[in-house]
Amino acid sequence: MKTLVLSFAVLLLMVSCGEEKEDAICDCIASTEKLNEKASGILKNGVTAQSEAELRVLKAEKKKKCVKFELMGGPEMKKRMETCKQ
């Protein structure tokens, strides 16, 4: 019984320490696109208190979702982005 519990704990640790989920980069890209759309809308229509608050929320969301990918090289980033389009 102890062996089973220990084996399960090791397996759980290995899974949690593995590479980030593939959809994490897709979440980053989606967040970046939302931020860009909002910023573009503000440039076209002008800024309001509500749009400024929404922009701040989107910036924080993007920063949180994309922090793992900030130092990723261009070729690797492009390759990983391809998985999002499928």
Task: Provide the whole-model pTM.
Answer: 0.68
Residue spans per domain, the chain: 21-85
Taking residue 29's Cβ as centre, other Cβ atoms within 10 Å add up to 19
Q: What is the pLDDT of residues 25-58, one digit of tens each?
A: 999 999 999 999 999 999 999 999 999 999 999 9
Contact 26, 80 (CB under 8 A): no
User: Which of 33, 18, 23 has its CA nearest to residue 80?
Assistant: 23
